[in-house]
A = this chain, B = another copy of it.
């Protein structure tokens, strides 16, 4: 039976989610379909089918509310799911707040973050359709690690184009992927036309996520047995992550709680959508009115400072064009430590919900984020990933506001991963070298002029 031991809620096996929740079934306005970069017109399924399996393309488009989680995927999930839901009593005491702080912890996955929830599903559907190789890009390394594990589980090959500067600065992340059997290249490489073009211009190019995406997509386009996998932004990726929020909802219900506020860090949107969408469902259906907040870095404030417009998903303009909040695909975010949140755009689903004022957003500077991270580590024990720590900052501020207001607010946030591979960032903070990078609107003057023109 589902039970609460005073610190965490443990779900009974009979309560494990068997379906993902598809928010497209309940949204009043759906994002427009993606536009082909080549034609400027709505992308045809056959274009996308060159790099994605049909099952995922169907999930991308469907408005069916509940999508069954394949039994094989559920079995993999049981290696770490359900993830625990903790009551952060010791943090509450430190803050002397009447609020209750609850957090879901996704760092228990072997990959150390929530990314494995979708990596397993994507690998599974690709394998079902006869694909033997998955190819992807990675920056900080969380996504590459997750896909490497998923590929190992399913006996598939995994190729990761890792941004060269990360490849050199984060050898342990690369080694982790290699330990699971993945092949990791420092991008740009001479293996692809995209990489060779960059290297011809600048043999010492440090690479970028945009370049790495181009190389990965090119490899997938050129090989029939190879598909591309993306770790965030797309509808099917957020769909798979809803297992987080579905579990959290049941776990909170087991202690007769419902959140007044739900928070998650937001880069491409998969972590945020994962915890938030099952609660957003209640808003859309009029059942409840929790405040739902996406937390982003001040240095890359896509929702809070971006334009709601059509833009490319990648930096170089190879991917389909989607309507989203964006700082412009040519915008280069300042170098901050939460690499997973340095994305110019955002998930079209999250963007639409923000545009429609169903959800809110807030931006923080990184020093206040790391301060919160250490308060959390010293009271709750877990050293959080810098990305995840954005949500902790938000939750602490809610708890402090509750203290001011004297209300017993129920706060829920998602702790998307641990920080075991981010200690250089903690070093910067502890030694006072870390600087805040407040957004300056002049930074996007140029990039917002370069948004693509589309016919609808």
Contacts and interface: CB of A to CB of B under 8 A. Distances in A.
Interface of A: 1, 3-8, 10, 12-13, 16, 75, 78-80, 86, 90, 108-112, 149, 152-153, 171-172, 175-176, 178-181, 374, 377-383, 420-421, 423-424, 426-427, 430
Contacts of A426: 175, 178-179
A420 B423 contact: no
B7 A176 contact: no
Contact of A112 (B1, B6, B7, B420): B420
B175 A430 contact: yes
Contact of A381 (B3, B10, B153, B377): B153
Nearest to A80: B381
B381 A7 contact: no
Contact of A5 (B16, B180, B420): B16
B5 A110 contact: no
A274 to B, nearest CB: 19
A92 to B, nearest CB: 14
Contacts of A86: 79
A331 B108 CA distance: 39
Contact of A378 (B1, B111, B181): B181
Nearest to A425: B175
Nearest to A111: B381
Shortest 7 CB-CB distances between A and B: which pairs? A110-B381, A7-B78, A5-B13, A420-B420, A152-B378, A175-B423, A172-B423
Contacts of A109: 381
Contact of A382 (B12, B110, B153, B420): B110
Nearest to A151: B378
Given A10-B10, A378-B181, A381-B153, A176 B423 contact: yes
A427 B175 CA distance: 6
Contact of A6 (B13, B171, B178): B13
Contacts of A420: 112, 172, 176, 420-421
A172 B424 CA distance: 7
A153 B90 contact: yes
B383 A176 contact: yes
A176 B419 CA distance: 9
Contacts of A149: 381
A164 to B, nearest CB: 18
28 contacts: A1-B3, A5-B16, A5-B78, A7-B75, A7-B79, A10-B10, A79-B380, A79-B381, A90-B153, A110-B380, A152-B378, A153-B378, A153-B379, A153-B381, A172-B172, A172-B420, A172-B424, A175-B424, A176-B383, A176-B423, A178-B426, A179-B374, A179-B377, A179-B383, A179-B426, A180-B377, A180-B378, A420-B420
